[in-house]
Amino acid sequence: MQKAQMIIDADYQIARVEDRLYSFFVEHMGRCVYNGLYEPTHPSADANGFRGDVKELVRSLHIPAIRYPGGNMVSGFDWEDSVGPVERRPRRLELSRTSIEPNTVGLSEFYDYAEEVGAKLIYAVNLGTRGPEEARNLIEYTNHRSGSYYSDLRRANGREQPFGIKTWCLGNEMDGSWQMCHKTAREYGAVARETAKIMRWVDPKIELIAVGSSGMELPTYGQWELDMLDECYEQIDYVAFHRYFRNTETDSASYLASSVSLDEMIRTLTSICDATKGKKHSKKQLHLSFDEWNVLHRTDVERHPERLSMPRPEDAWAVAPALIEHTYTFEDALCMGFLLNTLIRHADRVKIACLAQLVNVIAPIMTRVGGSAWVQSIYWPLLRVSEYGRGVALLPQLKSPVGDCSAYAYSPS
Ligand code: AHR
């Protein structure tokens, strides 16, 4: 039998693990919000239309923060549609998923829901079809006390006190050609800088997350961060990065070793942040926000259209079409466990991570309309890190047999 040895010493500390490493992402996509978290006709629904059985499962994860409301949809989203009397809110074409956004659940409703389950909102602004002006108006609405147009509009809408949202995403996946009003890194960096300046003038206490790469496979990966940070390093606090690990692209061993590649990505992005810090003679240190991540189990989509990421043409323009509803296996849960360990090992630089998504859409919690709610295999590693992965991360010294797989070969450093 082969032996492995691990030495752990309480003095070899990496950093305190931020609670927000165990955050989630909720998007107005598929059945995450509508017919997922929110189903007013369900027997367990509360007075606000949110399902009680789902709420209990959400609560069990002790979620510190929820990134909201998107996602790709946010790049075409008008936040004004989501406030004020529900019956006056417009139904809109949600172009990123050829569906209909009814705006029944909006800023105020979701803020209250998050608060009820003990989570803070991390709110994403639209830097796709919109820009600095809307972001300014939005933060005036959410964070300014009173005495101005948008803060008084909030009060007229029944919220006397500001929401006080602290953490904001400056857009979503603007490096991707699939994004509405996709930008080059320099274009995005300039918009992010100016939006950040304006938002901080409204509320200096906020923290800001700039869009980093949406995957390592993108041709712009790395260069995006170099150019973008060159434009806005001093104005932001975190660089976001997104990653979805697919079981279908590799053999089992390589899939399970996905954390090797996550480790490399974190090291690269941290180095770019620090290189920019040096180049700019800055005193400021940036951190990373892994604000969309998950494992994907995308198989057999021909027989399961609900596993597709876009509605079929015949299903277009529906409210809450079932999308990317993956069924997870034990292997996916194991892979997720390795990825979570990797995040903990980088607790000194990765301060926020949001599992995408919370309910029905590539999610640990699933629901049936009018029926039951249940958890998938990936719920368990998420629950266990939330219970036990708190405190200070230690740096282990490991001696063990090593093996290669098709995607990664061992190279002693
Ligand atoms: O989580 C699903 C989608 O994946 C999000 O809308 C987008 O940001 C990412 O590409």
Q: Is residue 356 part of a domain?
A: yes
What pLDDT was estimated at residue 412?
64
Q: For position 351, which CATH number holds?
A: 3.20.20.80
Are 79 and 107 in contact by the 8 Å Cβ rule? The answer is: yes
Q: With the CA atoms of 284, 288, 289 and 294 taken in that order, what torsion angle do they form, in degrees rounded to the nearest 10?
A: 180
Q: Is the distance from the beta carbon of residue 175 to the nearest atom of ligand 1 less than 6 Å?
A: no
Q: What is the tens place of the pLDDT at every residue in 246-277?
A: 987 778 999 999 999 999 999 999 999 999 99
Residue 80 has pLDDT above 90, yes or no: yes
134 C-beta closer than 6 A to ligand 1: no
Percent of the chain with pLDDT over 90: 92
Tell me the pLDDT band of 413, cut-offs 50, 70 and 90: low
> Domain containing 338: what range?
5-399
**Residue 97 lies inside a defined structural domain of this protein:** yes
Asked if residue 148 is part of any domain, the answer here is: yes
- Residue type at position 237: D
Is 160 annotated as catalytic?
A: no
Say if 188 falls within a structural domain: yes
Helix (H, G, I), strand (E, B) or coil at 119: coil
Contacts of 373 (CB under 8 A, 6+ apart): 51, 53, 54, 57, 365, 366, 367
Structural domain count, the chain: 1
φ, ψ at 291 (rounded to 5°): -90, 10
Looking at 94, 134, 225, 292, which residue is catalytic?
A: 292
**What is the pairing mode between strands 318-319 and 287-296?**
unpaired
Is residue 116 one of the residues assigned to a domain? Answer: yes
pLDDT band per the 50, 70, 90 thresholds, residue 305: confident
Whether residue 412 contacts residue 367, with contact meaning beta carbons closer than 8 Å, is answered with no
337 three-state secondary structure: helix
The model carries a pTM of 0.96
Task: Output the residue whose Cα is nearest ligand 1's atom 3.
Answer: 71
Average model confidence (pLDDT) across the chain: 96
Residue 212 C-alpha to ligand 1 middle, in angstroms? 14
305, amino acid identity: P
Give the model's pLDDT for residue 359: 98
List, as one string, the DSSP characters of 141-196: HHH--SSSHHHHHHHHTT--S-----EEEE-S-TTSTTSTT---HHHHHHHHHHHH
Pocket test for ligand 1, best of 292, 298, 359 (most atoms within 8 A of CB): 292
Domain assignment present for residue 411? The answer is no
Query: Which of the residues 173, 225, 231, 325 is marked catalytic?
Result: 173
- Specify if 405 maps to a domain: no
Q: Is 357 in the pocket of ligand 1 (CB under 6 A)?
A: yes
412 located within any domain: no
At 248 the pLDDT is: 79
Q: What is the mean pLDDT of the segment spanning 344-369?
A: 98
| Angstrom distance (rounded) from CA 325 to CA 323 | 6
**Rounded CA Rg of the chain:** 21
DSSP symbols for 287-326: EEEEEEEEEE----TTT-GGGSSS--GGG-SEES-----P
